[in-house]
Amino acid sequence: MDYREAGVDTQAGRAFVEKIRQKVESTYSGEVLGGLGGFGGYFELPQGYQNPVLVSGTDGVGTKLKIAQALNRHHTIGIDLVAMCVNDVLTCGAKPLFFLDYLATGKLNLQQLSQVVEGIVEGCRSSNCALLGGETAEMPGFYQVGEYDVAGFCVGIVEKNKILDGSQVQIGDIVIGLASSGVHSNGFSLIHKVLESNGFSWSDGCETFEGQTIGDVLLTPTQLYVKPILEALKLGIEIHAMAHITGGGFPENLPRCLNKEQSAIINTKNWKIPPIFSWIAQNGHISQYNLFETFNMGIGFVVIVPSQKAELTLSFFKNQKITAYQIGQVVKGIGEVIIDS
Distance CA 296, CA 320 (A): 21
pLDDT in tens, 54-89: 999 999 999 999 999 999 999 999 999 999 999 999
pTM as predicted: 0.94
Q: What is the CB neighbour count within 10 angstroms for residue 199?
A: 7
- CATH number of the structural domain 174-340: 3.90.650.10
User: CATH 3.30.1330.10 in the chain, residues?
Assistant: 10-162
Under CATH, to which class is 10-162 assigned? alpha beta
Beta bridge partners of 243: 302
CA–CA distance, 82 with 86 (Å, rounded to integer): 6
**Distance from C-alpha of 18 to C-alpha of 112, rounded to nearest angstrom:** 15
> With a cut of 50, which residues of the chain have pLDDT below it?
none
Position 7 scores a pLDDT of 63
- Taking only the tens place, the pLDDT of each residue in 141-181 is 899 988 999 999 999 999 999 999 989 999 999 999 999 99
Instruction: Say which residues have a Cβ less than 8 Å from residue 16's Cβ, sequence separation at least 6.
Output: 108, 110, 113, 114, 136
Instruction: Answer whether 325's CB lies under 8 Å from 177's CB.
Output: yes
Domain with CATH 3.90.650.10 in the chain: 174-340
Nearest CA-CA partner of 79 in 195, 226, 282: 226
Question: Can you give the pLDDT at residue 149?
Answer: 96
